[in-house]
Amino acid sequence: MELSVRFDAALKLASDLHRTQMRKSTNIPYLAHLLAVAGLVLEHGGTEDEAIAGLLHDAVEDQGGKPTLELIRQEFGDGVADLVFALSDTDVTPKPPWRARKEQYLSHLEEASTGVLLVSAADKLHNARSIVRDYLDFGEDLWNRFSAPSSDQIWYYRALSDVFRRRLGGPLASDLSRTVADLEWLMVSPRIE
């Protein structure tokens, strides 16, 4: 598949929206995450619309809510906008409580389209890989950057992994399951300095 100028426009919009945003408690530009998600989507057979949704999957949640969703709809059509909306766990400010949002998102994934599952699995895999890498560097201090305790984070990623293995299958779901298992193992193993 050859990417079109629509992908270029989505990349520019993602950069414009997230340019000053960094990954939680790091100096890593947030755009690195968005590029990784879009890359994983493409590597696993996603369409251009799904890759665009990968670039823009956090735009509604983190960069403007419904007005941003409408901008995405105008620029990239209903298909991309519907994917982006389905990938957002809230468009409300302030955000509802963490556990309730995550339980609702997990429930939503039980009925989600294959496109939503693909982009969401790519997002969660990149996040989980980042958590494993940062856990190796920072140990338990890593969890201070999150609003929910480590036990809730592990519960969420294990539940996501189970949904993706059951509903999506394939190498992406398997990679997430292995990454979550690695994180679970790291948390109970003694740290080697």
- What is the C-alpha to C-alpha distance for residues 29 and 15, in angstroms, rounded to an integer? 10
pTM, entire model:
0.94
- What is the C-alpha to C-alpha distance for residues 38 and 8, in angstroms, rounded to an integer? 12
- Supply the range of the domain harboring residue 78: 5-188
- What is the domain count for the chain? 1
- What is the C-alpha to C-alpha distance for residues 172 and 140, in angstroms, rounded to an integer? 27
For residue 39, name the pLDDT band (cuts at 50, 70, 90). Answer: very high
CATH number at residue 146: 1.10.3210.10
Whether 193 maps to a domain, the answer reads: no
Residue that the structure tokens 């302030």 belong to: 94
140-187: pLDDT as tens digits = 998 999 989 999 999 999 999 999 999 999 999 999 999 999 999 988
Whether 124 maps to a domain, the answer reads: yes
